[in-house]
Amino acid sequence: MIAYNTIKKIIVLSLFVSVFSCFEDIDDGTRQDTTPLSNTDPNNPNPFNGVLSAIEAMPYGEISDSKYVIELDRWDIPHNRTNPEKTTDNIQKAIDWAVAEGYGQICLPKGHYLIGKYGNDIYQAGIELKSNMAFLLDKEATIEMAPNNKWNYCAIAIRNETFVVVSGGTILGDRDNHEFTPRTSDGSVVHDEGHLICIEGESTFVTIENMVLGKANGDGILIVGSKRGEEQKLKDIVIKRNNFSDNRRQGVSIVGGKDILIVDNEIHHTKGTSPQFGIDLEGAGRTNENVTIRQNYFHHNTGGDIVNTDGRNVLVENNILTQGVESKYIDGPIVYWKNADWTIRNNEITMLTPSVNNWNGIIMYSNDNEKVNPATTYIHDNTLYNCGMYMYKGADLEIKNNVMDNGHLAFWKMTNLTLENNKVDHENKCWAYRFLEVSGKANGNTYSGDPFEIPLTPNETWDGCWIN
């Protein structure tokens, strides 16, 4: 268990000299530092020690090895955090020209680029990328969305494109200085759709890697795929080794997509407007399936770390989810709805204080409607500290080989439940295992090291110890 009181803080935005060959001998002019982001956690087994360089090996052969370093003087691009409309237009012109000339890797030199221009009455436009290209930021390059009063923005937009890479440096939103002007249609000032990177439509084969993504008024990365009821064509997305910090709504939102890998990221200090999760799978009628969330480090996310409302065949494995010192969960580390299905295995989950759902590290939300997804959810080989699991009004659940240190297993109105070889340690036996109207099978479970008999049967419900 992590010794939180001994954590040593480090600053995310440390300054380093770039060594990536794409940026040699570039005169950048004046750099201005940005508002500091929250600290990363040195307890992360794969810690972030500052801003990262862009990747050198392209993941897609369709991206040419030819490099173009954007010539700031030639394109008259401000790089000292001034003149956002001019900066946006001229970076876009440079990218469009380079793509037309056949360059595959387009490099942005060090500097601080303030962007943003009028898109429409509710949208502030940023930079749009094309197919078959990598947009590579110098380690000391920052793209920042200028303060605006729009409901929506995408600092970087990838719409219906294929074979695209964004890597290196920092992208920042405007949340510290955003103007929350009431929306004309209804007067709302939520303004939760300001995003750093948007991957939309029928985009395929997109990689976001080695970036700092912070201060979005909405999400660090928003993925929105094919329309409701249509075949899902947005697919093959990789989000790897990024530092998501201080985003207002989510680290990553998946609103329709398939074959998505989220790996080796640190996602932290998400706070500001609901739901405030690290990762949110919420298709809203769009298909979410075949999503892997692996080996990420979550902390200080106010709503929770991972929520799955409708994702199918989702794998969550080898992640560390910790509440964080002086932080409170609203919902809890892992939350899902009964018609989602996934495998949750080999994760470490820690709570320090109860959420609105009490001490539940994994909770299944439900209602009186029938479960229509016949798939089973598998929860195996996880370690939970100071928390447990609670599932209700559902079915088709297999929980095996989990360790709960000062935790519990609680089920209400559950059918087809399998409990095997779980180890629960709690000072109160009745709190440790709780059952009300539950059917299934159980064997090999222990309480504080001793065998604990749970007489579940497939065809009749059983009531065990229950605390109202």
Domain locations along the chain:
4-327, 351-468
What's residue 34's pLDDT?
Answer: 57
Angle, vertex CA 455, rays to CA 451 and CA 461, nearest 5: 150
**Residues in the chain, pLDDT under 70:** 1-34, 468
Alpha carbon distances (Å) from 23 to 19, 111, 155, 242, 302: 8, 12, 22, 21, 38
Q: What are phi and psi of 5, to 5 degrees?
A: -70, -10
The answer to whether the peptide bond before residue 374 is cis (omega within 30 degrees of 0) is no
Contacts of 428 (CB under 8 A, 6+ apart): none
What's residue 468's pLDDT?
Answer: 67
Question: pLDDT of 430-457, one tens digit each?
Answer: 999 999 999 999 999 999 999 999 999 9
Rounded to an integer, what distance in angstroms lies between the CA atom of residue 16 and that of residue 141?
A: 11
What's residue 23's pLDDT?
Answer: 52
This model's pTM is above 0.85: yes
Torsion of CA 40, 42, 45, 46, to 10 degrees: 50
- The β-bridge partners of 68 are 106
Question: pLDDT of 229-268, one tens digit each?
Answer: 999 999 999 999 999 999 999 999 999 999 999 999 999 9
Rounded to an integer, what distance in angstroms lies between the CA atom of residue 131 and that of residue 165?
A: 9
Kindly report the number of other CB atoms within 10 A of residue 437's CB atom.
15
Rounded to an integer, what distance in angstroms lies between the CA atom of residue 234 and that of residue 248?
A: 25
Indicate the fold that domain 4-327 takes in CATH. Answer: Pectate Lyase C-like (2.160.20)
Rounded to an integer, what distance in angstroms lies between the CA atom of residue 363 and that of residue 333?
A: 9
| Cβ(193)–Cβ(199) below 8 Å | no
Rounded to an integer, what distance in angstroms lies between the CA atom of residue 100 and that of residue 149?
A: 34
Amino acid at 90: N
Helices (H), 313-355: none
